[in-house]
Amino acid sequence: MKEGFKTRAVKYFIGFLALMFIMTFVSRALFAARLPKVTCTSFTVQPVVHSIELDGYLEALRKVPVYVPAGLRINTVRVKSGDNVATGTVMIRLDCGYLDEKIAELEKELKDAMEDPRSYSSEGQVPLFTEPGMRIREICVRTGDTVSQGDTLARIDMDHLGRYTEQLRRELNDDVIMMNKLREAGDDQSADAMASGIDMKKSEYDRYKAVYESGGTLTAPISGTVTDVQITTGGITSDSAAVLLSSSPEVGGAAELYRNKLSELRELREKDGEISSPTGGVVTEVFVVSGGMTSETASFIISDSIEGVVFSTELSSAETRYISPKDTVDLIFRGGRIKREDCEVKRIIKDDQGGGFKAEVSLDSDGLNVGEPGQMKLIAGSDEGNMCVPLAALHESSGAGYIYCLEVSESFLGKEYTVRRKDISVIDSNKSIAAIEGAEIDADTKIVLTSSKELGDGQRVRLT
């Protein structure tokens, strides 16, 4: 009986162990089914190759800007970008009515400026003096007037001058009488002293009498331009010059600017407001429109291929890593019908305003036109091999890059897989792979490529 009990107990225990073993596997299977399912890859050592395709156009090395005086209204623009023009081709027709208004405004501004003595250089000026103490009745000229020799510049108040001259005559007669009395009294020393003063007064009287007898007019001693009038109507003359004249005055300041601009606008008016091309070539840029206004910047850019042609394309800062002067590229035009292979990059220029770059490529331009669009193609890559992974294996958090590597451990139930986060830096990439550095991994390390769920450092996973 005891033997039968022991036999049953052993059977029950073995059955319990078998059940527990089955339950463990079932539980492990259920747990594994909930784990993220991942696929893995290994890193490769290779250069990161870039296939670069950039749009651009043919550009002449010689570019001629066409300027038009600023502030004028445009009637019609007669050319467009891409047009071929010859020297003398009419490009713009200005609004002549508006041009006439601007000319009239400038004529007034120039006239006002020419009446400002500051508009004239002091070199070569001839001062006109007159006797002091005379009242001015009329000023006949203004600064900027052109006069001939002998022209009247100003008139003296004759009544005031007559009274002043008569006063001088009476004072002179009184002094002569007094001097004679001193000589009769035997005081020759005092008489001689008075004689000197009488001579000076006699000279002054003669000068004022001469002005009176001449009609009291100030006349121009030379032909030229009045550069300054320093007397005023009703004012009293002084020892300073009354008028300044110049036979060939040098004009500066605002007057010079107005004069030059007026000459420019008058020349345009003589041409009926037409602006013509100064050279032959292709119009590559147009900055004006019909009905608009001209500005200080160029209205057109004309490209002349006489000094050569280059293919021009814009580059980003990142693209300059893969393109350098003397590199060779292929150029394609007209949808592939025209190709230029192994063309040399002539130079790369930084655009100070836009912040980008421009590459210029030398080529044989036979059969092509300035301004024609095209495409530049090249294959570029790093010279040395880098540790590379597929882009799908990269992750980013707060600006930091990382990958997940697979860690394998053995248990009595088999292999277990855990992922470990490895921080990395991307040093280059293309559309499929990235070159990385910073992670301590070897050739046998498996890198997680895809996962069915979001992963975390130290998380258990299963392989597909």
Answer yes or no: do 339 and 375 share one domain. Answer: yes
The label of the residue with tokens 């996962």 reads 451
Tell me what pLDDT residue 414 has.
75
Answer yes or no: do 242 and 162 share one domain. Answer: yes
Contact, 238 vs 31, CB < 8 A? no
H/E stretch holding 178: helix 158-184
Tell me what pLDDT residue 32 has.
61
Q: What SS3 class is residue 32? A: helix
Tell me what pLDDT residue 19 has.
65
Contact, 456 vs 41, CB < 8 A? no
Answer yes or no: do 342 and 244 share one domain. Answer: no
Q: What SS3 class is residue 441? A: coil
Which range is least confidently modeled, 31-35, 212-216, 219-223, 354-358?
31-35
In the chain, the N- to C-terminal Cα span, in Å, equals 55
H/E stretch holding 34: helix 2-34
Nearest in space to 125 (alpha carbons), one of 222, 197, 10? 222
Query: pLDDT (tens digit, 9 = 90+) per residue, 94-134?
Result: 999 999 999 999 999 988 888 888 888 888 889 999 999 99
Tell me what pLDDT residue 111 has.
86
Mean pLDDT of the chain: 89
What CATH number is given to the structural domain containing 237? 2.40.50.100
The whole-model pTM stands at 0.56
The radius of gyration of the chain from alpha carbons, rounded to an integer in Å, stands at 50
Between 5 and 50, whose confidence is greater? Answer: 50
Does 186 reside within a domain? yes
Residues of the domain holding 21: 1-33
Answer yes or no: do 371 and 439 share one domain. Answer: no
Q: How far apart are CA 342 and CA 354, in angstroms?
A: 29
Tell me what pLDDT residue 443 has.
77
Answer yes or no: do 398 and 376 share one domain. Answer: no
Instruction: Spell out where 19-131 has E strands.
Output: 37-41, 44-46, 49-66, 74-77, 84-85, 90-94, 125-128
